[in-house]
Structure 1
Amino acid sequence: MRLISWNIDSLNAALTSESDRAKKTRKVLETIQNQNPDIIAIQETKLRSTGPTKKHKEILSAMFPDYAYVWRSSVEPARKGYAGTMYLYKKDLTPKATYPEIGAPSTMDQEGRIITLEFPEFFVTEVYTPNAGGDLKRLSERQEWDKKYAEYLVELDKQKPVIASGDYNCAHTEIDLKHPENNHHSAGFTDEERAGFDNLLKSGFTDSFRKVNGNVKDVYTWWAQRVRTAKANNSGWRIDYWLVSDRIANKVSRSEMIDTGERADHCPILLEIEI
């Protein structure tokens, strides 16, 4: 099975805008489609609460004619047009989609952050983890989220193996970002967030990229858009992951990044697993 996960930073813009960035984003979508994945997980769709518009649906049908899709958007009292997730999956697959609430603090459960697909022998689930914020205002809430999310994955894992992906907004170790020495108090690399990710892995999950590729350096999934030289200098962070239940980790054959050229922000990540 081949799966791809990507924080797209606005599906609406990708499908309907004519900006240079939107055109680059559509090129990446074409690359994803050409990979012929069984499942595509998309984070940060930024769709309105009613989901894809008629125009969105027409474009998605044209771009991905062999795929069905499910979506989840931010709803009140959470911010409108914020966060959001989507799955596209081959039409010959028949998963059961669920939209869990994990008892997260504030409005996090209403921000459309998790979708889970249940198959007869395993779960596929995606997450768009809340950011602690530039001034770490949301760090305590993020810590609670991390705890609740780990508990949720553990409960799934008790039933059947789990394949989890998404933007986890955390660089786990110092080799997962270009400049760790400058970022110990930055959102995504605080001791608290890294401890939360440690707890998640220790709960029975494997970082598939490290499993397959070992401790390679200078391989990232996100480069800051606001820093013009970040992508060119490969000054990035690895904050997007494919995690799998420990008992199926040996079934992973590929776990890697998909090149997006000059386009900064997130790149898609690919997983191949014999399951």
Structure 2
Amino acid sequence: MIKLVSWNVNGLRACVQKGFNDYFKQVDADIFCVQETKLQEGQITLEHGEEYDQYWNYAVKKGYSGTAIFTKIKPISARYGMEEDEEAEGRIITLEFEHFYLVNVYTPNAKRDLSRLEYRMEWEDRFRNYLLELDKCKPVVVCGDLNVAHEDIDIKNAKANRGNSGFTDEERGKMSTLLESGFIDTFRYLHPELEGVYSWWSYMPKVRERNVGWRIDYFLASSRLALNVIDAQIDCQIMGSDHCPVMLKLADFSE
């Protein structure tokens, strides 16, 4: 079995002060992916033993975006971004393993006033094409903050939020298109009707306490990996960020 964890930490240095290392040790993942690290090279040192290799993609802009992967399984190769001239926001790390690609992603936010929605739409198309190219070679696992609640069941107040950033018809449509292109939402694959399970809550008072949340953090996988999906969970009780960790367990690929 391979255990994968993904967490938007909303600032890794801050999250370390709020129990990140304790959770990291407790969950004992084979592969641990992080989004929104908000730091530059050399600004943090994490000691997780020699068993974990570390891969970092930093944004050029200080205190912004950024992704990282800690893995016990040595990858064949690592790639940063989608293209050679990728905008330097540190949003994507792709590791190639023997049986699958792992893509850790922090999807651009459309912004509250939707000023970045057009860019987001163009980015979504490029990202889907990137995943489909990888999928031609071997199956793909995608994890991270995808910045969209896909269906009404994935958000507490669907009616009131329709049209808001992260719940526009356009963003939700791009997620549908991606899934229809040959991917599964592993959590919904195992829990198609489970309500009230979210991965992000506003920092406004008592919002998390009342579980007024959104499910915007995912593990997606190539459809042909469906039989390998053993478990998919959301660790809602874990604090330290406005997001909580999400987890995927895959059956071993050995024959």
TM range (shorter): over 0.9
Distance 1:112 1:251 in 2: 30
Question: Which runs of 5 or more residues in structure 1 are unaligned?
Answer: 16-21
The counterpart of 1:52, out of the listed 42, 53, 59, is 42
The counterpart of 1:150, out of the listed 109, 128, 142, is 128
Distance 2:234 2:190 in 1: 12
TM-score between the two structures when normalised by the length of structure 2: 0.93
> Counterpart of 2:200?
222
Give runs of aligned pairs for residues 28-177 of structure 1, distance below 5 A: 28-48=20-40, 51-53=41-43, 56-57=44-45, 60-61=46-47, 63-75=48-60, 79-90=61-72, 93-102=74-83, 109-177=87-155
Shift of the 147–33 alpha-carbon distance from structure 1 to 2, 3 Å rule, reads same
Following superposition, the deviation at residue 215 of structure 1 comes to: 1.5
Please give the root-mean-square deviation of Cα atoms over the aligned residues, in Å: 1.7
Matched AA of 1:81: G
> Counterpart of 1:11?
12
Distance 1:131 1:29 in 2: 27
Shift of the 64–214 alpha-carbon distance from structure 1 to 2, 3 Å rule, reads farther
**Structure number with higher relative contact order (C-alpha < 8 Å, ≥ 6 residues apart):** 2
> How many residues of Structure 1 are paired with residues of Structure 2 in the alignment?
251
Identity of aligned residues (%): 41
The counterpart of 1:255, out of the listed 227, 232, 237, is 232
Matched AA of 1:97: A
Choose between structure 1 and 2: higher helix proportion. 1
Shift of the 32–257 alpha-carbon distance from structure 1 to 2, 3 Å rule, reads farther
Deviates most, 241-250 or 95-104: 95-104
Distance 1:190 1:94 in 2: 36
Distance 2:239 2:166 in 1: 23
- 8 Å contact from structure 1 (residues 209, 255) kept in 2: yes
> Counterpart of 1:19?
none
- The runs of 4+ residues in structure 1 deviating greater than 2 Å are 12-15, 63-66, 92-95, 100-104, 259-264
Distance 1:176 1:203 in 2: 21
Shift of the 148–267 alpha-carbon distance from structure 1 to 2, 3 Å rule, reads same
> Counterpart of 1:244?
221
> Counterpart of 1:197?
175
Following superposition, the deviation at residue 161 of structure 1 comes to: 0.5
Deviates most, 93-102 or 115-124: 93-102
Residue 170 of structure 1 aligns to a residue in which SS?
A: coil
TM-score between the two structures when normalised by the length of structure 1: 0.86
